[in-house]
Structure 1
Amino acid sequence: MNIDLTGRTALVTGATGQLGRVMAKTLASCGADVVIHYLNNEAKALEIQAEIQALGRKAVIVQADITNLASVMEMKQQIFKQFDRLDIIVANAVSQYTWTSILEQAPEDYLDQFNSCVMQSVLLTKAFVPQMIENQYGRIIGINTECSLQNFPNQSAYVTGKRGMDGLYRILAKEIGENQITVNQVAPGWMISEKYRGDDPEPSSDYEKNVPLKRRGEDQDIANTVAFLASDLANFITGAFVPVCGGNVMAAI
């Protein structure tokens, strides 16, 4: 049994990021054509584009502010100049900020995370879901985080944004499910990615000791889960929140 995305077109937001770049290349390796979204890192976007094209898949790069409606709609126009349809959305982009306590966290950081986590998906929905409804097919995959279930000190702005995103995705799954569009979330743990594969990786023993599998996962583990949820193998899974963290957090029933 293989994951076959032949004939599908996927958009990965934040595709130049540590996890996004692996997701984009993995979807392409499964047969999908890929839209590589970036905000600032055009050089990395071009590098990923070349790698995907080397796999024999079509790849285009688009620059957009995914928290701005006009920018998202312009991105939509660029995509549909290159492709007849968009089948898969991976909402992976997220803004970065300095974590601190609620008393010290700047109010604008909460707004920033809300825009990055929640409004990104609202705007992507408004831009692309009408066409998915016409096609009676679609896959929407949001990248959440294990932090949503941890609620540790200093995570408040990030967790607030991601938990808001969780509510949006659960409602969206119910609103558009009849159109054969699935809506799911993948929640990574602290994964090993290019950033942590150097000669002096960041110490992680305190983290790993609490993980049932006693190790950190790889960026590829996230990409594999995204590819599965994007495929027809997962065509009866919607509204799911899937932690990919070695059991570090476990969604309650």
Structure 2
Amino acid sequence: MIAAAPTTNRLALVTGGTRGIGEAISIALHNEGYRVLASFQRNHEVAQAFSERTGIPVFKFDASDFEATQQSIHTIEADMGPIDILVNNAGITRDGVMHKMSPQNWHDVIETNLSSCFYTCHAVMTGMRERKFGRIVNISSINGLEGQFGQTNYAAAKAGMCGFTKSLAKESARSGITVNAVAPGYVDTEMVRAIAPEVLQKIIEKIPVGRLAKPEDVARCVNFLVADDADFITGTTLSVNGGQSMA
């Protein structure tokens, strides 16, 4: 059971916030004293178990659907108050080499991983600008910075998130809103643990610190970026990859 944290007036929405990296981010923000809402799209049982274990409320909506996102965020803010912190973590993979990739697999990844950032930010931006405060963190990936075989869709979406972050940061800075990205390397999650052991070992051998990231490594970076006194940090992509990429 996660210890109850003191509440603050800051409400944080974490998309894809009930599993893996998103789960760690939700818990870390909760433990810092923020009011946290974790969204999910598919696995209701996992989301409910997460909520019961942590005390963090969950909300189901499809972040890849513009209208559904607008309506869902309107409902959230009507019930819980304005969203001051937005963490765009929702994401999927549909891997395959490009010349064999279906248009649907391209579209699904771009919509879920990249367009969702536009949809959620579009829904909260007016309120943040009016209140002269906002913290937005987009969870990108090392593969968006370096590319990856069999992931043209995923890499394009994650690279797009970094460009989106820089542009929105420039538009929003004078309104007290910071927009940053975090680009994790390989993280010890269910998805990475499904990689064949011999392949995973080769990946770890290329990481200078000699291990996979823990979800909590990423979560600590998010906590840092959303703090009130992180107001001079915007438009950056913070790499969390154990030295695997130092560009």
Common fold by TM > 0.5:
yes
Q: Which of these residues, 47, 50, 64, is aligned with residue 48 of structure 1?
A: 50
Task: Answer yes or no: is the 8 Å Cα contact 1:16–1:44 preserved in 2.
Answer: yes
Q: Trace 1:136-175 onto structure 2 (pairs within 5 A).
A: 136-175=132-171
Asked if 1:125 corresponds to 2:121, the answer is yes
RMSD of Structure 2 on Structure 1 (CA): 2.1
Aligned length: 241
Q: CA deviation at 1:82?
A: 2.4
Q: Give the aligned residue type for 1:139.
A: R
Q: Trace 1:1-253 onto structure 2 (pairs within 5 A).
A: 6-53=8-55, 59-97=56-94, 99-193=95-189, 202-203=197-198, 204-251=200-247
Deviation string, structure 1 residues 200-226 (Cα, Å, up to 9, x no partner): 994532112211212211111011111
Q: CA deviation at 1:48?
A: 2.4
Task: Answer yes or no: is the 8 Å Cα contact 2:208–2:243 preserved in 1.
Answer: yes
Distance 1:5 1:191, change over 3 A: farther
Moved over 6 A (4+): 195-198
How far apart are the structure 1 equivalents of 2:47 and 2:179? 26
* Secondary structure, aligned partner of 1:147: helix
Q: Percent identity?
A: 29
Distance 1:33 1:150, change over 3 A: same
How far apart are the structure 2 equivalents of 1:144 and 1:77? 25
Q: CA deviation at 1:236?
A: 0.9
* Secondary structure, aligned partner of 1:35: strand
How far apart are the structure 1 equivalents of 2:159 and 2:191? 26
In structure 1, the partner of 2:3 is none
How far apart are the structure 2 equivalents of 1:201 and 1:153? 16
Q: Could you tell me the TM-score, scaled by structure 2's length?
A: 0.90
How far apart are the structure 2 equivalents of 1:15 and 1:195? 15
Where do 5+ consecutive residues of structure 2 fail to align?
1-5
Task: Answer yes or no: is the 8 Å Cα contact 2:11–2:81 preserved in 1.
Answer: no
Higher helix content, 1 or 2: 2
How far apart are the structure 2 equivalents of 1:248 and 1:222? 15
